[in-house]
């Protein structure tokens, strides 16, 4: 029910629209930022199962949900005859994972809707019972041994590059520490703004053994390459700031609109529409990956959907305001009434789901083509981190446009806000097209190199497996 938390704040707590929206944005923003905090100990120290247990019992469920539950469920979905190193088996597991998560998420929403009028004690007992059912499978769960988190690679590489910032670039490939990946002196990708990171792999001592002794000052060339690939995705990440701004609007103002319209159905129906659309699109995107559809196309289409979502929301709000009926009671208090059906909001919720399904899956697939195998699982965490920053920034947007936000939706000017939001979303589509074109034309060798290395490793693994048989 956290999806419609904003309506609880306005209806039950009787908070004004600006305060309710700010509370929701702060809650969701902090939950998204904690994703990085949760992912680090889950990978390096405690393991996924222990983190799931902690985040549920300590009421940090929302922060640890996507990081721990999805990864833990993926570990359980591998069958005995499937190989984690084979691309085909990885795609099958991804499809199962998205399908199971989407179905369970929708069923949970339906159950919460049916129990919305039930006793709170029964709701609590149901949650506790579900948690204990999960604990019954402790003996049968597959658990991976915690390993060092690759997130530390970034810090170590940047630290080493800063310490050796005064050194000159080397003229021979052998002058780079443990350089077994390239035959030139510049570590790919060849981006001038990131060239300074190459200094992290420069050898200062004449002997390799001595260099390894002082390994804290040197980074392997392969790690430098992986960090440069990760940082090179920053321009594409910037496009998700506006994307997250639309998502924050959906989580607050869209549901408040529905709360003030003529309706004979619960508001969570729109949560189901959005979630089912996003899940179906994500599964379809996973299926068309085999046809070689570039993920950048999906990202651009997702950003375009965000623009049409704002355009649709603006049109619906203008129509809703035109049909408002104002009347004053005997106490000189204003009341508003509208006969417009709440289902007028269906297109904008559908477009939000389309935006989420296209952009999220496209970014995850593109992320996997840019980074090494150890970092592929951190695409969603980095996206959540960006989303958290934007949702916290959304608190400021309410303060900036404070004259547009009054006590409730009817007195506020959401139509002006949606019209304003169309400008950054349209500019974001243009910027996303430019960035995608740059990635497609300037860095094709990066994608080819990663795919080639991945296939090479998988091929070697398959050959060794056949020999053992």
Question: Tens of pLDDT along the chain (469 residues)?
Answer: 566 777 778 777 778 888 888 888 888 888 777 776 666 665 555 555 555 555 555 554 454 555 566 666 666 665 545 555 555 556 666 677 777 777 777 777 677 666 655 556 666 777 777 777 777 777 777 666 666 666 777 888 888 888 888 877 765 656 555 555 555 667 777 788 888 888 877 776 554 444 444 444 445 777 888 888 888 888 888 888 898 899 889 988 999 888 888 777 788 888 889 988 998 898 888 777 766 567 888 999 999 999 999 999 999 999 998 888 777 766 667 777 777 888 999 999 999 999 999 998 888 888 877 777 667 767 777 777 788 888 888 888 888 898 999 888 888 899 999 999 999 999 999 999 999 888 877 654 554 454 455 555 445 444 444 444 4
Strand partners for 176: 202
At 61, list the tokens: 């469920």
What CATH class has 2-146+233-454? Answer: mainly alpha
Alpha carbon distance 359, 298 (integer Å): 6
SS3 189: coil
Alpha carbon distance 341, 396 (integer Å): 32
């Amino acid at each position: 029910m956290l999806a419609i938390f904003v309506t609880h704040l306005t209806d039950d707590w009787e908070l004004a629209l600006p305060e309710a929206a700010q509370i929701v944005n702060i809650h969701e923003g902090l939950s998204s930022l904690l994703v990085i905090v949760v992912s680090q100990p889950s990978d390096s120290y405690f393991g996924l199962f222990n983190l799931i247990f902690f985040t549920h019992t300590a009421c940090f469920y929302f922060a640890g949900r996507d990081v721990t539950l999805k990864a833990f469920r993926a570990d359980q979905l591998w069958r005995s005859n499937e190989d984690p190193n084979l691309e085909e088996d990885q795609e099958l597991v991804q499809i199962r994972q998205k399908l199971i998560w989407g179905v369970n998420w929708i069923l949970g929403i339906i159950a919460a809707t049916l129990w919305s009028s039930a006793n709170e004690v029964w709701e609590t007992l149901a949650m506790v019972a579900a948690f204990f059912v999960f604990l019954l499978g402790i003996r049968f769960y597959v658990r991976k041994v915690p390993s060092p988190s690759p997130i530390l690679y970034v810090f170590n590489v940047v630290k080493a590059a800063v310490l050796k910032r005064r050194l000159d670039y080397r003229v021979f490939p052998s002058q780079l520490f443990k350089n077994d990946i390239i035959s030139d002196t510049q570590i790919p990708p060849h981006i001038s703004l990131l060239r300074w990171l190459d200094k992290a792999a420069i050898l200062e001592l004449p002997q390799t053994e001595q260099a390894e002794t002082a390994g804290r000052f040197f980074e392997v060339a392969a790690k430098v390459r992986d960090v440069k690939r990760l940082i090179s995705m920053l321009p594409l990440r910037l496009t998700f700031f506006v994307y997250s701004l639309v998502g924050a609007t959906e989580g607050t103002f869209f549901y408040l609109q529905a709360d003030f319209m003529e309706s004979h159905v619960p508001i969570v129906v729109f949560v189901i529409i959005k979630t089912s659309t996003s899940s179906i699109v994500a599964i379809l995107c996973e299926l068309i990956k085999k046809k070689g559809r570039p993920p950048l196309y999906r990202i651009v289409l997702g950003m375009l959907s965000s623009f049409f979502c704002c355009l649709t929301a603006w049109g619906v709000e203008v129509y809703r305001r035109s049909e408002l009926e104002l009347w004053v009671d005997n106490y000189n208090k204003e009341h508003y009434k509208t006969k417009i059906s709440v289902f007028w909001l269906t297109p904008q919720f559908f477009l939000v789901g389309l935006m989420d399904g296209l952009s999220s899956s496209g970014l995850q697939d593109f992320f996997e083509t840019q980074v090494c195998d150890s970092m592929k699982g951190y695409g969603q965490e980095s996206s959540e981190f960006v989303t958290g920053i934007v949702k916290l920034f959304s608190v400021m947007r309410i303060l900036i446009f404070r004259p547009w936000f009054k006590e409730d939706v009817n007195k506020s000017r959401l139509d002006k806000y949606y019209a304003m939001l169309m400008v950054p979303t349209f500019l974001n589509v243009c910027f996303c097209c430019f960035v995608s074109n740059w990635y497609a034309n300037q860095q094709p060798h990066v994608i080819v190199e990663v795919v080639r290395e991945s296939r090479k490793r998988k091929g070697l693994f398959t050959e060794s497996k056949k020999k053992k048989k």
